[in-house]
Amino acid sequence: MQRIETLQEFYDVMHKTIPIRKDAVQMILNEETLQPELVDHLKDTLESLTSIEEQNDQRLLQLDSEKTISLDLDYEINELEKDLFYLQHPEEEFYDLLSKLHAAFPQQLASGIQFLKDVPIHNMISDRDGTVNNYCGRYASSVQSIYNAVFLSRFAKACKNHAVILTSAPLDKIGLVDISVSPEDAFICAGSKGREYFHANQQRRQFPIEEIKQKKISLFNQELSSMLDNEKYKKFTLIGSGLQFKFGQTTIARQDISGSIPDEESTAFLAQIEALVADIDPKKEYFRIEDTGKDIEIILTVTSDHPEARLKDFDKGNGVQFLNDDVPLKLQEGNTLICGDTSSDIPMIPVSQHLSKDTYTIFVSEDDQLKDKVSSVSTKPFFVDTPDILIAILNEYAKTFAGP
């Protein structure tokens, strides 16, 4: 067991589970006997996490030489516990465990199976966090669990054309592909709302950006990196969303869900970022800043088709259109399944409905207002409470429809 005292040590331990989990996923999909040492490694990791000093249900880790922060490690611990149970018990018993964890699991699983019954899915396009992956407060440690990768990979094989994971997070460099443990050829991984993706042979493709805009965001990223090299600001790369260089967008955390940074310091950091953006884009021609209170989003705008709105943000609907044209997904050939969990995922629905023969929508939400929004757009909506229920539905679907 490795003793964990700093936030960086915590990230290092979590990243060491990635090759272990990848090997386990491949063995299960190949119906091979699981190597005992893989289970032992995960047990050791779980022991390391649960041995971190605890206070008020939070784990205490050193952020720097002066600051200790408290973190909710429920995702990392719970996913390891579920993985260990999954590896050591039949799948039916794992479903029983999920039923104990999620009261709605049996009913929503049965209803979801019925929703997709006899429906051949040609393409699936899904958000990741909060949709097909349980939510984690830190992207860098939200490593995909083994059971999750197995269930989703089985479904991907059952899709007649493509299965796409489309996220607002970056594609790599602590992005989507870095925390995935699914086989590389199972999914098209699309980051930055679909502006960039990896396809066959891990070839990177990108949505075209005007040269002047690319120069502006590259300059901003360079200046931001220099700022964050300063020990005074380095802590912001380690909390919450951390630093994410997306294609056409940059995210930097200024706070996390535990309030690790004093409010005055967090606000001052926001002012520093705003000043940097103003220095590079004084006329506000290229960037828009969105502050969530925890993350600062510096967003490169794109030209809008609407004359009354010259500039707009690139959304996931634009991403779906780009992927359909560039991969190509060939959505027109059949049915598409769209999965999401927030309002930012809704733009995928009308684009898919316009391009596909038929579009089925599954959203993970208990928010009635969001459900109403989805239902007002989607012709075939369905809702579940948690990502675990959604991926179980997809796993059961895969047992009915054999892949190509």
Indicate the domain borders of the chain.
1-88, 211-313
**DSSP letters of 133-193?**
B---S-GGG-PPPHHHHHHHHHHHHHSSSEEEEE-SS-SSSSSGGGS--S-TTT-EEEEGG
What are the residue ranges in the chain where pLDDT is below 50? 306-310, 404
Domain with residues 211-313, CATH architecture: 2-Layer Sandwich (3.30)
pTM: 0.90
CATH topology of domain 1-88: Methane Monooxygenase Hydroxylase; Chain G, domain 1 (1.20.58)
* Tens digits of residue pLDDT in 257-267: 778 899 999 99
User: Three-state DSSP class for 37?
Assistant: helix
- Please give the Cα distance from 98 to 149 (Å, whole number): 16
